[in-house]
Amino acid sequence: MWDRLQIRPGFQSDSTLPRAAVLVPLFEDENGDIRVVLTKRPDTMPTHAGHISFPGGRPDPDDDGVVATALREAEEEVGIDPSTVEVLGYLPEIHTFEYQLLVVPVVGRLSGIPQLRPSEREVARVHVPRLVDLADHESWRSEPWGERLVWFYELDGDILWGATAHMMRNLLGMAP
């Protein structure tokens, strides 16, 4: 499945919009299945409350680029040690529409099965679905929202949708 992922080796952008970054953390489980780490944001968060997302956020002044932001945020949110992440590349940046901000997805392979430690303040729940399940076209549904098509995937009682669903579909080569 690793060879089917749609990862770009480099990151380039002409946009002048500010950037946030997320880590798309992938790992192989004990059965050899590739899994991805997703979080559900608490309903108390000031932005994207209750949404399923990749660990990530806005850059700190000390961050040296999008990779540093993605790795720092993943460590803060779910305890992923940056030294265990091999950066494989990037997915196309996503405009969140809700904010004048671009999100850069940084795809990383974890060196083993992670011992996740979710931040109580930033994470209500952690999901680690198999990519093979997420790649099942029949499990997705879509709705037109204005001129955009929005995708939805039921994930153990939660709904993956919006920008994160778009990034996931890009990763899996399922983007419209």
For residue 145, the domain's CATH number is 3.90.79.10
Residue 174's pLDDT band (cuts 50, 70, 90) = very high
Q: Is the pTM of this model over 0.85?
A: yes
In a domain, 176, yes or no: no
Residue 59's pLDDT band (cuts 50, 70, 90) = very high
Give 63-72 contacts, CB < 8 A, sequence gap 24+: 66/11, 66/19, 66/21, 66/104, 66/106, 67/21, 67/106, 69/19, 69/20, 69/21, 70/21, 70/22, 70/23, 70/104, 70/106, 70/108, 71/23, 71/106, 71/108
Give the strand pairing for 38-40 and 94-95. unpaired
Residue 75's pLDDT band (cuts 50, 70, 90) = very high
In a domain, 55, yes or no: yes
Mean pLDDT for 101-124 is 94
What is the average pLDDT score of the chain?
Answer: 91
In a domain, 48, yes or no: yes
pLDDT tens for residues 132-160? Answer: 999 999 999 999 988 888 999 999 999 99
Contact 8, 89 (CB under 8 A): yes
Mean pLDDT for 32-54 is 85
Q: Flag whether pLDDT at 1 surpasses 80.
A: no
In this prediction, residue 101 carries a pLDDT of 78
Domain residues for the domain of 103 are 2-7+17-171
Give how many domains the chain has, as a whole number.
1
In a domain, 102, yes or no: yes
In a domain, 99, yes or no: yes
Mean pLDDT for 92-102 is 77
In a domain, 28, yes or no: yes
Q: Flag whether pLDDT at 100 surpasses 90.
A: no
In a domain, 23, yes or no: yes
In a domain, 110, yes or no: yes
> 130-140 burial by CB neighbour count: b if 16+ within 10 A, else e?
ebeebbeeeeb
Of the candidates 51, 4, 77, the one whose C-alpha atom is nearest the C-alpha of residue 21 is: 77
